[in-house]
Amino acid sequence: MMVNIRVNGKQYKKDIEPRLLLVNFLRDELNLTGTHIGCDTSNCGACTVLMDGKSVKSCTVLAMQANNHEITTIEHEDPELDAIKDAYVEEQGLQCGFCTPGMIIESFYLLKNAGDKEVDDDYIKKNLRGNLCRCTGYRSIIDSIKKANKNIKEREEIHVSR
């Protein structure tokens, strides 16, 4: 079947098998291999992407369900996403790196949707429960997200003052 899926701002029209999972569409059809497969059972979150701005586990979404929707992956170019990536590097919020793209996309999501809530340990922990990491013990990931939040906020303030 034909699908039209917008990925990271670019429109893709592809003829796919109805059973094709979104994660395989991204990895195999579009060669966007930053999104990883950790468990196939929507437990680990390594495959987390955004669909119309909402975080989903792409190993349990069919590509055809994404037809006419917009997907955001780790390969997306965005200053806020870059700020999060920088914070992960500075805080060493990763070791083997396999869960990292999913973690960063989830971080992007939870920072964007914090609203009036304070981005503290509790808020981050609660919103990160769908993403497993076997290496870091999460401490450095939480610190990375806090740092990213601070950096993004500071940059926004600079923009406003200008």
- Among 55, 72, 136, 149, the residue binding another protein under the rule CB under 8 A is 136
Q: Which two tokens stand for residue 144?
A: 């990375």
> In whole angstroms, how close is the CB of 106 to another protein at the nearest point?
10
For the packed helices 79-90 and 100-112, what is the interaxial angle rounded to 10 degrees?
A: 120
State the DSSP string of 34-93: TS--S-SSSSS-TTEEEETTEEEEGGGSBGGGGTT-EEE-TT---HHHHHHHHHHHHTT-
Q: Please report whether residue 89 would count as binding another protein according to CB under 8 A.
A: yes
Q: Which two tokens stand for residue 97?
A: 């790196």
> In whole angstroms, how close is the CB of 4 to another protein at the nearest point?
22
The footprint of another protein on residues 5-64 (CB under 8 A) is 17, 19-20, 24, 27-28, 32-41, 43-44, 46
State the residues that interact with another protein by CB under 8 A: 17, 19-20, 24, 27-28, 32-41, 43-44, 46, 73-75, 85, 88-89, 91-92, 94-101, 104, 124-126, 128-142
